[in-house]
Amino acid sequence: MTTLIALVGAALVSATPLLYATLGELVTERTGILNLGIEGTMYAGAFAGFLVAASTGSPWLGLLGAVVVGLLSGLLMGLLTVTFGVNQHVAGIGTTLLLIGLSEFVNRLKYGGGAVPQIAKFGLLFRDVPVAEQYLLTYIGFLVLAPVMWWVLRGSGFGLRVRAVGENPEAADAAGISVTRTRYAALLVGGALTAIGGAVLTLAILGSFTLNITAGRGWVSIALVIFARWRVWPAVFGALLFAGVDALQLQLAISSTFESVPRELLIALPYLVVVATLAISGRGVRYPGAYLRPYRRA
């Protein structure tokens, strides 16, 4: 029982960065833009959050710094893919490489290859209450962000424009919706959320920064968006499922009962579960109509 409670608590923590990044990517992809800059944006968000918090002593200002960097990365992706109409794969991977390289470069300039400081980080709420003992950003992510995102995409004018642009930009344009403005807006919102996802790692979970801090969480989020078929609640479920199975394998790996199970199999378990779920439920995935297509007026 205690293990189960620990499992749920751990799943919520490690699902939090995935949740922000996945929802950020989701809203972007709904306008037809695949943002492969996500891993770099998370990385830069984690680093910017850390750097600002380290120099100001405030995790809140750190969070603000991460948001600014996320907006800038969204702007860059917008410039490349919306204004210039560059291939989205190339632009995204280029953005990821640029942002990771830039973060490591600034890290080198600032700390000269030596140890980085510990920062004042966000504390846990409800200390020593099982499961409820979580970071504020976890509460905001699951209880505020997810429902708001669901409502925005479903019921708001902005959500309608996002979906129209992503499905049929020509028709949206003819109906007086600015494709450019909608895509930029989604990239900015998505970039900011993704950067917050990265900042969760430094400002809440670790209170510090190391190289490779995101360790592929951005790419996991890309997969989760497809897993969720571009819908909000399945994305929340996917993030929890992945994080939950990962938490489970960490428990199994150290229990004497499962000693004979190969370690590699346990480590692969979360990926296997997501792939299996995708294979069973993910048949006939329908991509947004304008996926990967730059828009130009004929």
Partner 1 sequence: MGRIRPFRVVAIAFAATLALAACGGNTGQPSQPAGSATGSQGGEALKVYGAYATPIEEPWDGVIHTALQAAEKDGEITYDYVDNIGYSGGMERTLRDIAQNEKPDVIFGDAFGNEAAVRAVAKDFPDVAFVFGSGEPEQAPNLSVFDNWIHDPAYLAGMLSGGVTKSNVLGVVGGYPVPEVNRIVNAYVAGAQSVNPQVQVKVTFLNSWFDPTKAKQAALAQVSQGADVLFAERAGVIEAAKEKGLVSIGSMADQKDQAPESVMTSILWDMRPTVEAVLDQVRNDKFEAANLKDYSFMKNGGSSLAPINTDVKGGIPQDLVTKVQEMEKKILSGEFTTPVDENTPKGSNELSS
Shorter beta-carbon distance to partner 1: residue 61 or 86: 86
Residue at token pair 């990821």: 96
How far is residue 33 from each of residues 24, 95, 180, 208, 292, measured CA to CA in Å? 12, 14, 11, 32, 6
Name the phi and psi angles at 124, rounded to 5. Answer: -85, 145
Question: Which amino acid, one-letter code, is at 215?
Answer: A
Q: Nearest-CA neighbor of 142 among 276, 3, 279, 15?
A: 15
Shorter beta-carbon distance to partner 1: residue 27 or 198: 198
Q: How far is the CB of 243 from partner 1 (least distance, A)?
A: 9
Indicate the SS3 state at residue 134. strand
Q: How far is the CB of 161 from partner 1 (least distance, A)?
A: 25
Q: How far is the CB of 221 from partner 1 (least distance, A)?
A: 14
Q: How far is the CB of 201 from partner 1 (least distance, A)?
A: 5
Shorter beta-carbon distance to partner 1: residue 98 or 148: 98
* End-to-end Cα separation, the chain, in angstroms: 62
Q: How far is the CB of 126 from partner 1 (least distance, A)?
A: 13
Residue at token pair 């344009």: 173
Instruction: Report whether 184 contacts 82 (CB < 8 A).
Output: yes
Shorter beta-carbon distance to partner 1: residue 213 or 235: 213
Shorter beta-carbon distance to partner 1: residue 114 or 157: 114
Q: How far is the CB of 119 from partner 1 (least distance, A)?
A: 11
Shorter beta-carbon distance to partner 1: residue 138 or 164: 138
Q: How far is the CB of 197 from partner 1 (least distance, A)?
A: 12
- CA 161-66-216 angle, 5° bins: 85
Shorter beta-carbon distance to partner 1: residue 119 or 235: 119
Cα(266)–Cα(249) distance, integer angstroms = 5
Q: What is the CA radius of gyration of the chain?
A: 19
Shorter beta-carbon distance to partner 1: residue 87 or 281: 87
Name the phi and psi angles at 254, rounded to 5. Answer: -110, 10
Name the phi and psi angles at 147, rounded to 5. Answer: -65, -40
* Tokens of residue 295, six digits: 């828009």
Residue 257 contacts by C-beta under 8 Å, 6 or more apart in sequence?
none
Q: How far is the CB of 229 from partner 1 (least distance, A)?
A: 27
Please give the residue ranges that form the binding site for partner 1 (CB under 8 A).
2-3, 6, 10, 13-14, 17, 79-80, 83-86, 90-91, 93-95, 97-98, 100-102, 104-105, 107-108, 111, 113-115, 118, 124, 201, 205-208, 210-213, 215, 246-247, 250-251, 253-256, 258-259, 263-264, 267
